[in-house]
Amino acid sequence: MNRFAELLDRLVLTPSRNGKLTLLTDYFRSVEDPDRGLALAAITGDLSIAAVKPAMLRALVVERMDPVLFGYSYDYVGDLAETVSLVWPQPQGHIPNHAPTLAEVVGRLQAASRSDGPKVLSRLLDDASISARFAIIKLVTGGLRIGVSARLAKQALADLGQVDVAEIEELWHGLAPPYTELFAWLEGRAEKPTSAALALFRPVMLSNAVDDGDLEKLDPADYAAEWKWDGIRVQAVCEGGVRRLYSRTGDDVSGAFPDLAAAMNFEATLDGELLVGDPREATGTFSDLQQRLNRKSVSPKIQQQYPAFMRCYDALQIDGDDLRALPFAERRKRLEAFVKTLDPSRFDLSPLVAFSDWETLERLRQAPPHPIIEGVMLKRWDSPYLAGRPKGPWFKWKRDPHTIDAVLMYAQRGHGKRSSFYSDYTFGVWSGPEGSEELVPVGKAYFGFTDEELREIDKYVRDNTIERFGPVRSVRADRRNGLVLEVAFEGLNRSTRHKSGVAMRFPRISRLRWDKPAAEADRIETLQALLDG
């Protein structure tokens, strides 16, 4: 338990992806079964433990200490799990004879009935160190929130076994905690696990961005073009009555889209884009799609207002035939015939875009027929369906980004290599009537600039600081003084969380406009027009 607790403590404060991977692989390498598998399940969200409500936790602790002192403590720390882990009084004269393992903790929590749950939890906390108490409370209150995705955990496993992460994703849904057979394979002690489970995820094929000069080398006749839909990449799998809707990384998202899952009454594995609307009539915008994202449960009203459908563009399997080795042209034919047999309100076909040369396609790309299109996809007619991101068969050619001139308002220190640099920038645009304009923050960006530019901005921030709050500095920014940043972004969403009412997607610094006076930066109306357009 202590090693798991230590891992959580480190992960939560380690910002870099590589740093997290090192910590995870070291943990998986050095900890034995079944503890490491249970830790893995806790991180990927595959560990089921009956949840304890915060009120219960608070009740347990004030039975054991002065409520006034607990109140002072909680006010100071601000996080209930952390406060309880710190103040939990060890019973008088109680010396735990050994630190429980993660397996023991999980075992005791899973075996606890609803009525004796609190008692079991108290005993565990009595026996644990402060860090371990924090980890236990995180396990029972649900959601570790340590900044590690299931995908990253799988990457760490891939690093451990020197295998491709796609292999792990393909196996994943056939496995269960504590994943003993998976670790045995990764350590070369056993064969790769085989799974008889149905409707497993198949790793998806990804594309590369078109770079300067790429197209000149390619023959347009070798490629099919499609619109690039800005929805959610999904894989719909139905096998022997089992239905699963997977995200691009193999997470099961069926629960969030019950309306679409209900229409999956076929034997196939389809690749496509999840969008909202009725494909026979109109496709929803990204703002509409947002109504269906990040929801634990979906009300019937929302399902009706924003119905989910799938725009299919590939078939990996139809009626038991694995099509992945076939050329795209062949798969496409099978797909076209197959989609016709499906519920037309839930499934349609992503149309091909006819073009004869790159110039024609370029014109089409610049003026797509729907706002949720973010460019075109190029797929080689003869390419098989390959897991991962092979270079050559698939390209994405995105619409040029939007840009805006904004003024630097706040800068925050970075981490790791950037820990002595102010490298995260909050920028704003002008709002309000003429003569009393004010900057309103519209986004935050921390890349897009060169190392040399980073040094220049860092110096500017240090020389123009007006206030400091911890690692954040507020930078002089008014009509006469300020650094103008050209910010590129992919799109805008409405946001109730930001004062400006907009949230940028994928913002990055595209240019430093040392030459431009702050007063000439853009106004909020420019962004609002983009939102309405």
Partner 1 sequence: MFKAMRASDLLKPRPEGLYCPPGDFFIDPVRPVGRALITHGHSDHARSGHRSVLATQETLDIMGLRYGEDFAGTTQAAAFGQTIDINGVAVTFHPAGHVLGSAQICVEHGGKRIVASGDYKRQKDATCLPFEPIRCDVFITEATFGLPVFRHPPDQDEIARVLKSAAQFPERSHLIGAYALGKAQRVMRLLRDAGYDRPIYIHGALAKLSEYYQSQGIDLGKLEPGTVESRGKADFAGAIVVGPPSAFADRWARRFPDPISCFASGWMRIRQRAKQGGVELPLIISDHADWDELIITIKETGAEEIWVTHGREEALVRWCELEGIAARPLHLVGYEDEGD
Q: Which residues bind partner 1 (CB under 8 A)?
A: 6, 9-10, 12-15, 19, 22-23, 26, 65-66, 68-70, 72-73, 76-79, 82-83, 86-87, 130, 413, 415-417, 419-421, 470-471
Q: How far is the CB of 156 from partner 1 (least distance, A)?
A: 13
Alpha-carbon distance of 499 to 172, in angstroms, equals: 42
Residue 320 or 470 having the CB closest to partner 1:
470
Q: 293 to each of 32, 196, 244, 346, 504, how far by Cα in Å?
A: 37, 32, 17, 18, 16
Helix axes 54-62, 130-141, angle to 10 degrees: 140
CB of 26 to partner 1, least distance (A): 6
Smallest separation, CB 472 to partner 1 (Å):
9
CB of 417 or CB of 494, closer to partner 1:
417
- Find residue 206's DSSP bridge partners: none
Residue whose CB is less far from partner 1, 68 or 221: 68
- Residue placing its CB nearer to partner 1 in the complex, 84 or 237: 84
Smallest separation, CB 123 to partner 1 (Å):
20
Can you tell me which residue has the tokens 């990040």? Answer: 294
Q: Among residues 54 and 147, whose Cβ is nearest to partner 1?
A: 147
How many angstroms separate the Cα of 336 from the Cα of each of 115, 201, 350? 56, 22, 9
Judged by beta carbon, residue 309 or residue 410, the one nearer partner 1 is: 410
Least distance in angstroms from the C-beta of 134 to partner 1: 9
Minimum gap (Å) between residue 135 Cβ and partner 1: 12
Q: How far apart are CA 376 and CA 394, in angstroms?
A: 11
395 versus 421: smaller Cβ distance to partner 1: 421
CA distance 358 to 456: 39
Contact 28, 183 (CB under 8 A): yes
Output the smallest distance, CB 74 to partner 1, in A.
9
CB atoms within 10 A of CB 187: 12
**CA torsion angle 524 530 531 533 (round to 10):** 140
Residues 320-354 as b or e (16 or more Cβ within 10 Å = b): eeebbebebeebbebbeebbeebeeebbbbbeebe
Neighbours of 437 (CB within 10 A): 17
Report the nearest approach of partner 1 to the CB of residue 92 (Å): 13
Nearer to partner 1, 388 or 416 (CB): 416
Least distance CB 93 / partner 1 (angstroms): 15
Q: Where are the alpha helices (DSSP H) in 143-221?
A: 150-161, 165-172, 180-186
Give the residue with the Cβ less far from partner 1, 146 or 302: 146
User: What CA–CA distance (Å, rounded) separates 272 from 129?
Assistant: 48
User: How long a stretch of residues is the chain?
Assistant: 533
